[in-house]
Amino acid sequence: MKSLRIFGPNDARVVTDAPIPSLKKPTDVLVKVIAVALNPTDWKHIRFGAAPATVGCDFSGIVMEVGSGVTEHKKGDRIFGSVHGSNHLWPENGAFAEYLVANIVMKIPKGKSFEEAATAGVALNTVGQGLYQEMELPWPESKEAEAALKEGAEKGKILIWGGSSAMGAMGIQFAKLSGFEVITTASKSNFDYVKSLGADAVFDSRSPTTGTEIRAYTNDKLYYAWDTLGEHGAPQGCAEALASSPPASHPFRYGTIMAFPGQAPPRQDVKYSMSLAYTATGENIMTMGFQFPAIPSHYEFAVKWAKVAEKLYGEGKLQTHRLDVREGGIDKILEGLGDMREGKVSGKKIVYRVAEP
């Protein structure tokens, strides 16, 4: 089959003779890939050069085969999700290919395109792990969330740094469904976009005073910050935005999705969490030279979370990221990754159609 493979640092090439991956576990499904979406992790793994590996995480497609333990999906289903791409512990498997194997997938709602659905897998998984498994926000439609959504109810505040990123855009929507007042950051050109997703207040992500401005806006009572960037001043900005001292009887949390093992939190007085969506596979993983053992509880959470996310998406309560659909399929993916690496993409998700249904 055709796929985009890593051969070394900054060396990724399209091949036409890659083997089709095989089912490994009873919960696996074999997917014919129809559309894929690009993430920063894709070009970063190519730069690092974890070879051999197949690039790509976000996908949508059609189920071709199911494992013996799969009961909710069948051959022919239109599905979407994410896999651990660029994983040289399983070099045959990745999204930027004609076929892949996944162990958590969701059905594409009627009326939604393969291109739109392809943008959602990594974002849904990351939001679930970051905001709900690690930071323990009340789940959407829970009693606590419903109480906070009532007119006149006091709402908690959360900062989502990087609101126009794919993760930030999805995080804004989920935080609103959980009853929070959402403060976010973005470039000025994306202010209207993040407000359309439900953000209550937006600050300029490029201003050096944004952190202190947010602290003033929240009257020094911001107790949750979720950093979707992890760089370009975001950790420091979150540290400056959070309340100046821990509350006496309230969670005080800073979470990030872009840290590495051993990286220090921006403040020592907050409960720090780092989520890595790859661990949702429940398998041993290797990323950027770091190896992580399988965490079965992360897989169990992800399975439960996928059902919630699938339901909300199917009910029209979630918007996927804005699309930048490009032509050329797998052969042109490196061009899109180059645009991302050079900072030419903002507030949109690059998508390629790989095949026809």
Convert the pLDDT of each residue in 22-46 to its tens digit: 999 999 999 999 999 999 999 999 9
77-to-59, 110, 193, 331 alpha-carbon distances in Å: 14, 11, 32, 26
- State residue 248's pLDDT score: 86
Give alpha helix (H) positions in 85-233: 114-118, 121-127, 143-149, 166-177, 191-196, 210-217
Per-residue pLDDT tens digits for 215-234:
999 999 999 999 999 877 89
Question: Which pTM does this prediction carry?
Answer: 0.95
Kindly report, as residue ranges, where domains of CATH 3.90.180.10 are found in the chain.
3-120+283-353
In CATH, the number for domain 3-120+283-353 is 3.90.180.10
- State residue 144's pLDDT score: 92
* Proportion of the chain above pLDDT 70, given as a percent: 98
Per-residue pLDDT tens digits for 312-352:
999 999 999 999 999 999 999 999 999 999 999 999 999 99
End-to-end CA gap in the chain: 16
> Which fold is adopted by the domain 124-275?
Rossmann fold (3.40.50)
Per-residue pLDDT tens digits for 232-275:
789 999 999 999 999 888 899 999 997 666 677 889 999 999 98
Mean pLDDT of 109-138: 97
Helix (H) or strand (E) holding 310: helix 296-314
Q: Which residues of 83-117 are buried (b: 16+ CB within 10 A; e: fewer)?
A: bbbbbeebbbbbbbbbbbbbbbbbbbbeebbbbbb
Tokens of 334: 């490196």
Whether 6 and 52 have beta carbons less than 8 Å apart is answered as: yes
Kindly report, as residue ranges, where domains of CATH 3.40.50.720 are found in the chain.
124-275
- State residue 152's pLDDT score: 83
